[in-house]
Amino acid sequence: MGRVMTYLVNIRIADIIDILIVAFVIYKFMELIKETRAEQLMKGILALFVFTQVTKMLNLYTMQWILDNTLFYGVFSLMIVFQPELRRGLEYIGRSNFLSKPMREIRSEKINKLTAEIVAAVQSLSRQKIGALIVIEQETGLNEIIETGTMLDADISSELLINIFIPNTPLHDGAVVIRGEKNKSSCMFSSIN
């Protein structure tokens, strides 16, 4: 009991902050990988790590060498295999309140006008039984997708949207991406995940 009290007396505020930050990062990491392939992988890595520690305690040098190298080189392999999950995680980290959010930068009245233009276009296209794929960029940037299409950088109007999706026009088979108040691109054929 005396040892515990010695440690408690020597704890600094910085130590408490450090522990809280590490706990928060671990919690967010676990939340991020929950119900993904990465969760099963983490269980496997944890088992390998425990087994490595057991081999060190039992002085099983050959097995220890194999496991150490497996863990070391496995990290690089995992970065390749789990690239989509890593990307999703980095995108999650990149989203924060202080970074610019394209749709939040627009004032309320402009959002209402933009919404009215989109609704008018969609209603008109619906009456004519014409489909339209309209993507509104929000927190996650869509530059990769926008760059695959024909760049328009035009103000949004119902007339523009209707003309894009009218059959037999050059752009009608693609999608429209709206960033802020602008139609950034149309006629994109890449998959949207």
Average pLDDT over residues 120-145: 84
- Let me know if 10 is exposed, middle or buried by CB neighbors in 10 A (0-12, 13-18, 19+): exposed
Average pLDDT over residues 166-183: 77
In a domain, 130, yes or no: yes
Q: What is the pTM of this model?
A: 0.45
The answer on 88 and 17 residing in a single domain is yes
The answer on 51 and 120 residing in a single domain is no
The answer on 8 and 86 residing in a single domain is yes
Q: Which of 33-42, 92-101, 133-142, 182-191 bottoms out in mean pLDDT, i.e. has the lowest?
A: 182-191
In a domain, 100, yes or no: no
Residues 156, 141 contacting (CB under 8 angstroms): no
The answer on 75 and 39 residing in a single domain is yes
> Which range marks the domain in which residue 131 is found?
108-186
Q: What is the pLDDT of residue 168?
A: 85
Q: What share of the chain is helix, strand, coil (3-state, %, to 5)?
A: 60, 10, 30
Task: Give CA–CA dist 77/171, Å, rounded.
Answer: 41
Q: What is the pLDDT of residue 99?
A: 45
> What's the whole-number average pLDDT of the chain?
78
The answer on 114 and 70 residing in a single domain is no
Banded pLDDT at 128 (limits 50, 70, 90): very high
- The residues that bridge with 47 in the sheet, in sequence order, are none
Q: Which stretches of 10-98 are DSSP H helices?
A: 13-33, 37-57, 61-81, 83-94
In a domain, 12, yes or no: yes
Banded pLDDT at 178 (limits 50, 70, 90): confident
Cα–chain center distance at 90: 6
Task: Give CA–CA dist 136/105, Å, rounded.
Answer: 14
The answer on 85 and 133 residing in a single domain is no
Q: What is the pLDDT of residue 186?
A: 54
pLDDT over 90 (residue 71): no
The answer on 77 and 10 residing in a single domain is yes
Banded pLDDT at 139 (limits 50, 70, 90): low
